[in-house]
């Protein structure tokens, strides 16, 4: 399992619009092959910063199959106008889950 972590900084004043649209976009991810979970967290210290936490079966399910697809384009059309800058994305593997 791969965890995608996308850091998204939104424009000042666009937080409500981003949250509304990302909630709608969740359905796109629910239907995406290989996508197992989708969560959004908002920074307490920097309220214009969000992190998308998306679990994928494999790295390729995200980078090859989803990114660039029509579903990805639809997702980006829903939220990209609220972005302050391009999202920063990284992929992680679980090394330890202690409790």
pLDDT at 62: 97
pLDDT at 88: 98
pLDDT at 50: 98
pLDDT at 22: 98
Cα(37)–Cα(29) distance, integer angstroms: 8
* Sign of the CA dihedral with 30 first, then 39, 91, and 73 last: positive
Contacts of 94 (CB under 8 A, 6+ apart): 1, 3
**Could you give the 3-state DSSP secondary structure of residue 99?**
coil
Would you say 5 and 53 are in contact if contact means Cβ atoms under 8 Å apart? yes
pLDDT, tens digit (0-9, with 9 covering 90-100), for 24-79: 999 999 999 999 999 999 999 999 999 999 999 999 999 999 999 999 999 999 99
pLDDT at 72: 97
pLDDT at 41: 98
Predicted TM-score (pTM) of the model is 0.93
Instruction: Please report, for the chain, the start and end positions of each structural domain, with discontinuous segments joined by +.
Output: 2-92
pLDDT, tens digit (0-9, with 9 covering 90-100), for 82-92: 999 999 999 99
CB atoms within 10 A of CB 95: 5
In CATH terms, the fold of domain 2-92 is Alpha-Beta Plaits (3.30.70)
């Amino acid at each position: 399992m791969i965890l995608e972590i996308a850091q998204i900084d939104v424009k000042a004043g666009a937080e409500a619009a981003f949250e509304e649209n990302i909630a709608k976009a969740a359905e796109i991810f629910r239907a995406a092959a290989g996508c197992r979970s989708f969560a959004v967290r908002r920074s307490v210290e920097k309220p214009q910063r969000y992190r998308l936490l998306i679990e994928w079966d494999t790295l390729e399910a995200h980078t090859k199959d989803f990114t660039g697809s029509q579903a990805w384009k639809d997702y980006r059309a829903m939220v990209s106008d609220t972005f302050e800058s391009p999202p920063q994305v990284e992929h992680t593997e679980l090394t330890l889950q202690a409790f």
